[in-house]
Structure formats: structure tokens, C-alpha cells
Structure 1
């Protein structure tokens, strides 16, 4: 259910056709978005990754770089996204024995007229996909999940953070 009962889909024109939102009249503000995701895997797969014993090399390092590169390409991948001059992208990947697997947390930041949620989500998604790609030879049953925005700030809507009880 939508949070705002007066909400409308901003990428639809009056006639229902897809359109790119005009952000030209919006004020430049610092905008930050955080996203998260995880890759569940066999405990042995996690141990191999952490020991640095994967045939394709440093899984976590490659996934971090892939996520950063992906965030910078978001407008090329998602049809109605604006090309943005990002000032920061970070990708943190941590092991979680309880999954078992790896947790991915991303941050995208800029000073501009539109938010960076899609860039943070793209970074998280591609980092998770890279983990899968690099470890699939030993564990084809890995599961990618929990991809979502966890926080955002800036712009007219201000700050928002997922409730602590909703954390994955």
C-alpha cells in the first residue's frame, strides 16, 4: 500500500505514456541514498571466499568495484533515470555466518536536483550479481535477495530510513 494516498507515478504522463521527469526547476541539495542486499550461500562457499581461494580471484574486491562502476552507469541501464554527476559511491561487503553469506551495503551521493536511490540500488544489485558470478562454479544454488533502499536524504521529501525492525 502506498505511503501517501495522494501519490502518483511520476514517470507517467497524463495520457499514461512513460516520460522522463523534468527536474530543471528543482533546487540543488545534497542527496544521499543507501541500499542493501545479500547473497546466501553454503557455509563452505563463504569460507572459500573469505580465505581468498576462489579460482576467479578476490570476490569481495571485484564485487565492490563492480558495484561502484554500475552506479556510474545507472542512467544507461534504467530507461528514465537522469544521468548524474555522483560525488561518492561506496560499497561495503561483510560476511554474515548467520545467513550464511555476504551482506552488501551501498551509498550514493551527489549535490543535485534528483535523488540517487536508483544508483545505490544498482550498485547493490550488481555487487550481488558479481559475487554470484565469481562463486557459481562451487555453489550454483546461491540466492540473491533483500535488495532495497534502506535510507535516503535530501530533496523535498527529506530524510527517510527503514525501521530498525524491518532490517534484514
Structure 2
């Protein structure tokens, strides 16, 4: 049976001790979907909207990248990690902005939370930059797509 890893034997919150774990190559890929109403989609002449705050997707990519590096400051029991790589892409598919965030490191613990935080913050940035056009924007989902390098690999079908 699986158990919660962030609880000590008394049921109190505790950071997982990774001291005895081997250093391996770790990768995680997360995705967020941002549903944009027609009023917002109409503003995308090409691949991005230029706003007073700057280009929406370019700004969201920078925000998501910055967020991956600060995950341990946002999620209380996450380890501080040195990241080897972070790649964010945003693509329009119909009315959805598909945000993909892939993070890599060589370490004793995975980068799932970093990828999820990066995709989430990029999605929130899209919302923030487009909300003047419509409040009908919906961040529909954020999910782990794949991870490698830990006890078990995972790939969503």
C-alpha cells in the first residue's frame, strides 16, 4: 500500500529525507490548458498578442521559467533544486492555449512540482495579461504528462 511520504510516523508534516537516494537524471513534463473565449482569440493575429504589458505568450514563458526556480519557496515541503533545464512552450489549439513545461535536473529527487508550478504560473500569466479583454478565460486543467528518473517512470497516454 502506498503511504503519504510527507508525514512522519506521528502524522506531522515532514520533508522527505533523500540523503541515501542515488543521483539520477530527472525529467518532468507538465501541461496546463487555458480556454480563451472568442473575444481573446480574435486578438491573436499571428501567434501572440502584444499588450501594454508586453507579448502575452513570451511573458508567460518567462514567468513560468522563473516560477520553476522558486518552487521550493511556494510549496512548503519541496526540496531546493538546482535545475539543469527548463523549456516552456505555448501553442494555440483552437481556443486553448496549451502550455507545456519540461524541467530537468541531475539529483536525488524529481522535478514534478517544478514542472507543474511552471505550467501553472505561465497559465496564470496568460489569464492576467488577457483579463482586460474577457473574464471568461478558464484555466481548465494542469496535469503531469510524464516523469522519468525516480522509483518509477510515468507517461500519460
**TM-score interval for Structure 1 and Structure 2 normalised by the shorter chain:** over 0.9
Instruction: Tell me the secondary structure at the aligned position of residue 11 of structure 2.
Output: coil
Query: Which residue does 1:119 correspond to in 2?
Result: 114
Aligned residues: 155
TM-score by length of 1: 0.89
Check conservation: 2:109, 2:150, Cα contact below 8 A: yes
Check conservation: 2:48, 2:57, Cα contact below 8 A: no
- CA–CA distance in structure 2, aligned partners of residues 51 and 134 of structure 1: 12
Gaps of at least 5 residues in structure 2 are: none
Instruction: Tell me the secondary structure at the aligned position of residue 15 of structure 1.
Output: coil
RMSD: 1.1
Instruction: Tell me the secondary structure at the aligned position of residue 9 of structure 2.
Output: coil
Matches within 5 A, 1:155-166: 155-157=150-152, 159-163=153-157
Gaps of at least 5 residues in structure 1 are: 1-5, 164-168
Query: Which residue does 1:29 correspond to in 2?
Result: 24
Query: Which residue does 1:85 correspond to in 2?
Result: 82
Query: Which residue does 1:38 correspond to in 2?
Result: 33
Check conservation: 2:99, 2:123, Cα contact below 8 A: yes
> Structure 1 residues 111, 139: CA separation in 2 closer, same or farther (over 3 Å shift)?
same
1:131 paired to 2:154 = no
By percentage of residues, which structure has more strand? Answer: 2
